Amino acid sequence: MRKSLFAVASIVALAVAAPASAQSPMVLKFSHVVADNTPKGQAAIKFKEIAEKLLPGKVKVEVYPNSQLFGDAKEMEAVALGDVQFIAPSLSKFDKFTKKIQVFDLPFLFNDLAAVDRFQEGKAGQGLLKSMESKGFLGLAYWHNGMKQLSANKPLLVPADAKGLKFRIQASDILAAQFQALDATPQKLAFSEVYQALQVGTVDGQENTWSNIFSQKFYEVQKNITESNHGVIDYMVVVNAKWWNGLPKDIQAGLTTAMAEATKVNNDVAGKLNEEAKNKIEASGVSKIEQLTPEQRKQWVAAMKPVWAKFEGAIGKDLIDAAVASNETKTK
Ligand code: LMR
């Protein structure tokens, strides 16, 4: 009730202010939870630059990184309320809105980021951009980050090494099942809370990309990182569908072009930024990076893959099959 009264008050205030500010640019807020020096951080900055260049005087894009404006818990609600216009949550964070996007969380589903890209660009992936329309959200684009690595304060070379440890996870039931399959304990935590949780030992380990492990300094409080590549962290740029569909055509067209350009930049820099982050962690000597032998990797696959069967009904076999096929084919 308080919220709706506030919303009405805001609309009224805007309506009153409109004539005086007819010439001012539309202020568009882009909120995200990672650092600027990551694939998502760079793409958001690029989106701002191109949108403001294509729509001079018409839009002003404000980018808020590092959960400064909204963190994991609040960002979808903020889009729904119109408090922010663009967000790009990790694909693991749509669990509450649709189970279908959870396909991306299945462990050892994609061989690499190229396969993820083929799936996203194919019919099934493109369909997922619209899978939350009935809830009022529209996906404009996928942005890459990269493959996930496992970390803790002990070497994680075989699944038994994870037994009994507590791992921070994103808010995804599949990720919870993945760690339960290892006899480990999953703990859902917002991204902004992970460093401290690792530092004080509320959790023992976590899974993330090299760029996140580096930019959030997780490696400083984790002695061991295993290059497991067992899953993916990618994003969907999401807007309020009603707001987007109601935009003046010239503004929507300019923002669409800016989004396409920013997506290109994201996809070009993602691999490089993750590689650089890995090299910097290695050079720091603070945490040790472990590689898996083919035999050890087989053990992780065997331990985690039973999770697929548990979620097949909720996700849909067709989607899982399309994702698996993207490992093989160039186009779909
Ligand atoms: C996480 O919560 O671990 C990350 O996915 C955050 C992000 O947006 O990369």
Q: What is the pLDDT of residue 10?
A: 43
The predicted-structure confidence for 93-104, as pLDDT tens digits, reads as follows: 999 999 999 999
Distance set, CA 23 to CA 20, 85, 171, 248, 322 (Å) = 8, 20, 42, 15, 48
Architecture, CATH, for domain 24-325: 3-Layer(aba) Sandwich (3.40)
Of the two residues 199 and 19, the one the predictor is more confident about is: 199
pLDDT (0 to 100) of residue 264 = 96
CA angle centred on 325, ends 137 and 235, rounded to 5°: 30
Coarse DSSP helix, strand, coil percentages of the chain, rounded to the nearest 5 percent: 50, 15, 30
**pLDDT tens digits along 271-292:** 999 999 999 999 999 999 999 9
pLDDT band of 187, cuts 50, 70, 90: very high
47 CB near ligand 1 (under 6 Å): no
What's the mean per-residue pLDDT of the chain?
93
247, 125 in Cβ contact below 8 A?
no
The pTM (predicted TM-score) of the whole model is 0.91
Mutate to test the pocket of ligand 1, among 142, 188, 191 (most ligand atoms within 8 A of CB): 191
Buried b / exposed e over 248-277, threshold 16 CB at 10 Å, is eeebeebbbebbebbbebbbebbeebbeeb
Ligand 1 close to Cβ of residue 311 (< 6 A): no
C-alpha torsion 68→69→71→75, nearest 10: -160
Question: 289 has which bridge partners?
Answer: 225
Is residue 232 within 8 A of residue 147, CB to CB? The reply is: yes
CA distances from residue 244 to 28, 39, 205, 248 in whole angstroms, order as listed = 12, 24, 39, 9
Residue 293 has what DSSP assignment? Answer: P
Ligand 1, residues 30, 33, 266, 274: which to mutate, most atoms within 8 A of Cβ? 33
Is the Cβ–Cβ distance between 314 and 98 less than 8 Å? no
> Cα–Cα distance between 146 and 155 in angstroms, integer?
22
Collapsing DSSP to helix, strand or coil, 74 comes out as coil
